């Protein structure tokens, strides 16, 4: 059974005026935790100090979770697993095959919400070389553009596009 006793010792902090140092000793190993309680008013009464200390005492100590290591796993393998993805978001999205590999999403910024008909008219007038583009309304100002091939989608992504003087953000 674990010893859950906690002892407190309260001292006036010597280095900084108007602060109190609270020492808390937790459990069987007597771990020491210090907290400095500032005294905002120069002549603060004992009641104010008692409330500050009571607030510190009533807080629960944070539990430290320790992960157990396996001696059979090498350091190199652990580092390799913990590294961030090597590919950027665009590279990873461009490597996807099928309909998602040739589709991009477009966010129409601004207060006016475009309809699918407005987006189709804008698409045909702006992207004159693109043909066979399927447009799907996803949510609020977001539309999905499915191109016939990946090359056409990549060309469209390289440009900057506006709809009614508002920027359109395109991404995989």
d(CA 8, CA 37): 14
pLDDT greater than 70 at residue 94 = no
Which residue reads 């799907």 in tokens?
136
Are the C-beta atoms of 116 and 126 separated by less than 8 Å? no
pLDDT greater than 50 at residue 171 = yes
pLDDT greater than 50 at residue 161 = yes
pLDDT greater than 70 at residue 22 = no
Distances (CA, A) of 38 to 7, 11, 17, 141: 21, 12, 9, 50
Q: For residues 106 and 25, which has the higher predicted lDDT (pLDDT)?
A: 106
For residue range 137-152, what is the model confidence (pLDDT) as tens digits?
Answer: 888 788 888 888 888 8
d(CA 154, CA 171): 10
Distances (CA, A) of 1 to 14, 28, 116: 38, 11, 67
Q: What would the mean pLDDT of 8-34 be, rounded to a whole number? A: 57
For residue range 54-88, what is the model confidence (pLDDT) as tens digits?
Answer: 776 776 666 666 666 677 777 777 666 665 545 45
Q: pTM for the full model?
A: 0.44
Q: Domain 89-171 adopts which CATH fold?
A: Alpha-Beta Plaits (3.30.70)
Query: What is the location of CATH 3.30.70.330 in the chain?
Result: 89-171
Are the C-beta atoms of 30 and 24 separated by less than 8 Å? no
| Torsion, Cα of 43, 45, 51, 54 (10° steps) | 100
């Amino acid at each position: 059974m674990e010893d859950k006793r906690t002892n407190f010792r309260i001292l006036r902090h010597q280095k900084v005026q108007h602060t109190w140092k609270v020492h808390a000793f937790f459990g069987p190993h007597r771990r020491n935790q210090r907290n400095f309680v500032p005294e905002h008013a120069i002549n603060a009464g004992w009641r104010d100090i008692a409330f500050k200390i009571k607030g510190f005492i009533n807080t629960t100590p944070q539990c430290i979770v320790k992960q157990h290591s396996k001696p059979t796993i090498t350091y190199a393998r652990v580092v390799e697993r913990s590294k961030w993805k090597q590919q950027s978001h665009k590279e990873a999205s461009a490597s996807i095959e099928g309909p998602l590999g040739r589709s991009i999403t477009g966010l129409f910024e601004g207060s006016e919400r475009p309809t699918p008909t407005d987006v189709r008219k804008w698409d045909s007038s702006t992207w004159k070389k693109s043909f066979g583009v399927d447009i799907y309304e996803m949510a609020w100002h977001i539309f999905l553009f499915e191109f016939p091939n990946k090359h056409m989608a990549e060309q469209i992504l390289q440009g900057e596009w506006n709809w009614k003087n508002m920027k359109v953000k395109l991404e995989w």
